[in-house]
Amino acid sequence: MSTYTPDVHAERVGHLGLITLNRPKALNALSLAMVRELNHVLQQWQDDAQVRAVVVRGSNKEGPFGAFCAGGDIRYFHQAAMSGDVTLEDFFTEEYSLNHLIQNYPKPYIALMDGIVMGGGMGISQGAALRVVTERTKMAMPETHIGLFPDVGGGYFLGRCSGPACPEHMGEYLALTGHVLRGGESLHVGLADVCMDSSTLPALWDGLCQQDWASGEAVVAWWRAQSKTATEQALAQTPAWQNAPIANVFGLATVAEMEQALQGTDEWSVQTLKALHHQSPLMLCVTLEQIRRGRHMTLAEDLRMERDLVRHCFQTDHLSRRGLSSETVEGIRALAVDKDHAPKWQPAHIADVTPAMVQPFFESPWPASAHPLRHLS
């Protein structure tokens, strides 16, 4: 029986802890109750010697799989910010604590990332011992589109994108543009470990439950063996960005310089510049600084930084902006509330963002001894 919400279904089957995100109408977007349920279950299972591995999946309107998690519940963010609901603070503190727990989980945690995996969905999957994608996976960190930044540890894991076909500064590219990685593309940048055909997942889930597992490591090895062929096929495909000058453009010092470098007429430059111009200029500049700082931080340090950032996003006191006037609330309004897709960004242009607007985001509103994530190590 669920403690906080039936939107997370957790059960122990043999030596496995099985989790299904069960809020399909919202593409399993995380509510505060879901974050609390996940934290509660995972903390229980980490101390249960009978649970040797944890496997998490999503669901869609037709049943299991098909969607993993679309992120945090941004409608709730908007409502809470507008009404002064203090649980918004709790949401981010508890969500980031959950991200840290998963990254440091003492048993194999396996994420079946079939379908949409964005924002908060990345936060509950990137710390997994095994990250499984399918041909239906659509993976992205699109937060700058709503006047936010790629949180849930994005500074840490995007800053560490790597792989044989991964250009330098891929993390900056993904963070600033919100580019969607399809299926096996995520293998090339180190954001997934194996790829499977989505049609095989239901039978594999059933097969998983029918075995008596001697160890969590055996569960991981079994999934790797099942996915070997599909993974090799995915890695053999040339990623779409193979010839794009990502390193040259996104390795530049500022977003303004990147904008200038994208003035070409080739398709990649045109589409990439168009993507940047859809995002909040202010949060593009904040995000660039976040990724470059996060690349050299531990996960705990990065999450503390991001907790500072998210407070400033909703309470941007150094720019005298709160509630409806905040960049994040305006971005959510345009995308998910009024749905006019015409956010009124302040400033409206990348060239108008100054360091004095950006740097205060990185000043913690709490002393170290009182930081809400001071317990993370």
* pLDDT beneath 50, residues of the chain: none
What is the pLDDT, as a whole number, of residue 164? 84
What is the pLDDT, as a whole number, of residue 2? 80
What is the pTM (predicted TM-score) of this model?
A: 0.97
CA distances from 48 to 6, 41, 192, 350 (A): 22, 11, 28, 51
Here the tokens at position 70 are: 């679309």
What is the pLDDT, as a whole number, of residue 149? 98
d(CA 226, CA 206): 13
CA distances from 315 to 72, 171, 321, 324 (A): 19, 27, 6, 10
DSSP state letter for 334: I
What is the pLDDT, as a whole number, of residue 323? 87
- Tens digits of residue pLDDT in 78-134: 999 999 999 999 999 999 999 999 999 999 999 999 999 999 999 999 999 999 999
| CATH for the 8-370 domain, from 3.30.70.600, 3.90.226.10, 3.40.30.10, 3.40.718.10 | 3.90.226.10
Here the tokens at position 147 are: 């006047």
Nearest to 185 by CA among 230, 238, 147: 238
Find tokens 């603070």 and name the residue. 89
What is the pLDDT, as a whole number, of residue 270? 97
d(CA 204, CA 261): 47
What is the pLDDT, as a whole number, of residue 240? 86
Consecutive H or E run containing 117: strand 116-118
Single-letter amino acid, residue 365: P
Here the tokens at position 49 are: 């010697």
CB 153 within 8 A of CB 309: no
- Tens digits of residue pLDDT in 75-90: 999 999 999 999 999 9
Consecutive H or E run containing 217: helix 216-236
d(CA 20, CA 132): 15
d(CA 222, CA 212): 12
Which of the residues are catalytic? 72, 120, 143, 151
d(CA 43, CA 10): 13
Strand partners, 194: 132
Here the tokens at position 87 are: 């649980």
Here the tokens at position 253 are: 């010092």
Q: What angle do CA 275, 277, 279 make, to 5 degrees?
A: 80
Single-letter amino acid, residue 87: T
Alpha-carbon dihedral of residues 231, 234, 238, 239, nearest 10 degrees? Answer: -100
Nearest to 300 by CA among 372, 239, 250: 372
